[in-house]
Amino acid sequence: MDDLKQFRQWGSKTPGHPENFETDGIEVTTGPLGMGISNAVGLAAAEAHLAAAYNKPDFTLIDHYTYTIAGDGCMQEGISHEACAYAGHLGLGKLIAFYDDNGITIDGHTDLSFTEDVGKRFEAYGWQVLVVDKGDEDVDAIRKAIAEAKACTDKPTLIKVKTTIGFGSPNKADSHDAHGAPLGADEAEATRKQLSWNYGEFEVPEHVYAAFKKQADAGAAKQAEWDKLFAAYKEKEPELAAQFERAVLNRKLPENWDECLPKLTEKDNGKATRLHSQDCLNAIAPVLPEFMGGSADLAPSNMTLMKCTGDFLKDSYSERNFRFGIREFGMGAVCNALSLDKTGIIPYCATFTIFTDYMRSAIRIAALSQAGTIFVTTHDSIAVGEDGPTHQPIETIPSLRLIPDLTVMRPADGNETAGAYKYAVERSKNESRPTMMAFSRQALPNLPNSSIENTLKGAYAVVECSDPEVIIVGTGSEVHVCVDAAKSMDQKVRVVSMPSVEVFRAQSDSYKESLLPKGVPTLSVEAACTSGWDEFSTAQVGINVFGASAPGGTCLEKFGFTAENVKECAEKCLKGETGVLSDGTQGKH
């Protein structure tokens, strides 16, 4: 009750929008419109998968419905189209969505901007659509609709409930005034009167407490029943039960799970880090049955298919390759929910690096709401090439580094890719936190001194030098260019690979100072905008202009990502020049 009285106040459990990290019993953090109904699709998908994977005849371990309430705003947002079309495609029969159809948004009546036939649209998605006409009072009609929803097992159900915003308020009902602002003492009093609610402010009658208590008791009884069921299941299905206990109930990784990850040496043939990523995904997939995900229709480009499992589709919920379709934002919200479902699923989702812009809000809310989503992205720089500047990230990776509590990894080779996966999987499972990874389209050599252990330091020397005159720091596909530049220089040069700014920041001061000592001229090289690199370097090579359509190698060359240019800039840096030494403007035609 004290918390209720602290609604929207500092430190309360009752913030302005539901926040799972502040309040027990809140599954997901919503508020940004359309996020909730899209999360619900993920929660329902998690149920469908776990039921298919673990239930056995006479042993229904997993069996629950996912309910969500969406408003006019949710229905207008594009994310609801993506997630709900996907839910219809999947035929998620245990997803039940209430559409609170009250006809009012912040601008006023929905007539102003929103006149589509929502029910027909959802039918087009393959949903069952039901209507409750008098949603303010006709609770029996709602009960009946829920029963009908449950009876339809192969389609999600939308229950369109006609309601009145601020129902009961004599002067503010059916108007935007009842949306976000308090009614005020007088109007609250008048509302109580109109509703014949004979209790005071913050007074909850005893019979309500009793009703909730009854539910809690019933829940405890159901839990005891389930525990008994699971004990029997353990007898009958010892292997599956052990997996269920580890992965779902205790949410622990198997010991030494990471031994599956590839280890490479400088002699191994180089290839694109997106291919190393494919190797890692396929090494992890058989070891971690809770690892599941997919791409927004770029599987053959993102290289994200797991070969040991099939497609998660309407008739194959036990499989683990998601076919999200071209629905980045919906995909992100679905994956966040797969993690926040708290059944141990480690979800990944994939698209081109540039299209994280389409799902940026889902990435942000993963970080905010502590979802362990792994965002796999490929084609991470102008080396994308022919697709041109609409598809070439410039500011994308640096802009993602700005999101609090998100870790960005940009591996330079095979070992760094394996290190990124070790980090991302453990961060997902053990800490329920997101990681974003950026992989190259183009082939890259395996580097000297790279390893999983070094990757987990965030940065380390790939070319060591005890008393460097200048240090060159690169990330991802630029590290080997830095190595080549250093080789061609007469000075004492250390080359540092920094797969993760965030992970490096978290290292001890002594390690950071030993790797990047203050006072030593340091040049950073990244095929991205230079902003933010002042933190680690005295001078920068980057690209602060949009790219161009041409073969990837040509783009890299024209915009200055050559050993020659890096060498030249490193020499300037050594002589004391600071700031942005190469920003790609030389490449604009």
Binding-site sequence positions for Mg(2+): 72, 102, 104
Whether 469 and 439 have beta carbons less than 8 Å apart is answered as no
Residues 390-449 that bind its own copies (CB under 8 A): 390-391, 394-395, 398-399, 401-405
506 part of the interface to its own copies, by CB under 8 A? no
Q: Which helix (H) or strand (E) holds 570?
A: helix 563-574
Q: Which is nearer to its own copies, 362 or 463 (CB)?
A: 362
77 part of the interface to its own copies, by CB under 8 A? yes
Question: Binding its own copies by CB under 8 A: which of 60, 113, 430, 514?
Answer: 113
Please list the active-site residues: 328
Which of the ranges 106-114, 195-203, 214-222, 256-264 carries the binding residues for its own copies, by CB under 8 A?
Answer: 106-114
> Collapsing DSSP states into helix, strand and coil, what is residue 208?
helix
310 part of the interface to its own copies, by CB under 8 A? no
Query: From the annotation, which residues make up the binding site for thiamine diphosphate?
Result: 31-33, 73, 102, 179, 355
At position 91, the amino acid (one-letter code) is G
Residues 161-220 that bind its own copies (CB under 8 A): 176
580 — phi, psi (to 5°)?
-80, 110
> 516 — alpha (psi -120 to 50), left (phi > 0) or beta?
beta
Sort strands 108-109 and 104-105 into parallel, antiparallel or unpaired: antiparallel
17 part of the interface to its own copies, by CB under 8 A? yes
99 — phi, psi (to 5°)?
-100, 110
> If we measure between CA atoms, which residue out of 520, 526, 556, 519 comes closest to residue 541?
526
DSSP 176-197: GGGTSS---HHHHHHHHHHTT-
Size of the site for its own copies (CB under 8 A): 104
Q: Count other C-beta atoms under 10 Å from residue 12's C-beta.
A: 16
**In angstroms, rounded to a whole number, what is the distance separating the alpha carbons of residues 248 and 221?**
21
Question: Binding its own copies by CB under 8 A: which of 247, 261, 368, 436?
Answer: 368
At position 207, the amino acid (one-letter code) is H
Residues 6+ apart with CB under 8 A from 228: none
Question: Binding its own copies by CB under 8 A: which of 139, 551, 564, 586?
Answer: 551
Written as six digits, the tokens of 264 are 């490479």
> If we measure between CA atoms, which residue out of 501, 303, 279 comes closest to residue 410?
501
Angle between helices 328-340 and 35-54 (to 10 degrees): 60
Question: Binding its own copies by CB under 8 A: which of 5, 9, 205, 513?
Answer: 9
Question: Binding its own copies by CB under 8 A: which of 103, 262, 325, 448?
Answer: 325
Work out how close the CB of 183 gets to its own copies at its nearest, in angstroms, rounded to a whole number: 16
Question: Binding its own copies by CB under 8 A: which of 171, 309, 316, 544?
Answer: 544
Query: From the annotation, which residues make up the binding site?
Result: 31-33, 72-73, 102, 104, 179, 274, 301, 355, 379, 387, 391, 441
Question: Binding its own copies by CB under 8 A: which of 243, 318, 361, 449?
Answer: 361
88 part of the interface to its own copies, by CB under 8 A? yes
389 part of the interface to its own copies, by CB under 8 A? yes
Whether 292 and 347 have beta carbons less than 8 Å apart is answered as yes
79 part of the interface to its own copies, by CB under 8 A? yes
Question: Binding its own copies by CB under 8 A: which of 148, 266, 319, 387?
Answer: 387
N residues, the chain: 589
> If we measure between CA atoms, which residue out of 290, 254, 252 comes closest to residue 374?
290
Q: Which is nearer to its own copies, 40 or 85 (CB)?
A: 85
Whether 306 and 347 have beta carbons less than 8 Å apart is answered as no
Question: Binding its own copies by CB under 8 A: which of 97, 118, 463, 527?
Answer: 118
Q: Which is nearer to its own copies, 433 or 567 (CB)?
A: 433
**In angstroms, rounded to a whole number, what is the distance separating the alpha carbons of residues 442 and 272?**
5
Which of the ranges 105-113, 253-261, 419-427, 565-573 carries the binding residues for its own copies, by CB under 8 A?
Answer: 105-113
Which of the ranges 112-120, 143-151, 255-263, 467-475 carries the binding residues for its own copies, by CB under 8 A?
Answer: 112-120
Binding mask 25-54 for its own copies (x = CB under 8 A): ----xxxxx---------------------
Q: Which is nearer to its own copies, 89 or 144 (CB)?
A: 89
Q: Which is nearer to its own copies, 184 or 219 (CB)?
A: 184
Query: Bridge-partner residues for 580, per DSSP?
Result: 540
> Collapsing DSSP states into helix, strand and coil, what is residue 329?
helix
Which of the ranges 124-132, 211-219, 454-462, 484-492 carries the binding residues for its own copies, by CB under 8 A?
Answer: 124-132
Residues 6+ apart with CB under 8 A from 548: 382, 388, 389, 555, 558, 587, 588, 589
Question: Binding its own copies by CB under 8 A: which of 63, 107, 431, 453?
Answer: 107
> Collapsing DSSP states into helix, strand and coil, what is residue 154?
coil
90 — phi, psi (to 5°)?
-80, -15
Q: Which is nearer to its own copies, 338 or 367 (CB)?
A: 367
Which of the ranges 73-81, 136-144, 213-221, 475-483 carries the binding residues for its own copies, by CB under 8 A?
Answer: 73-81
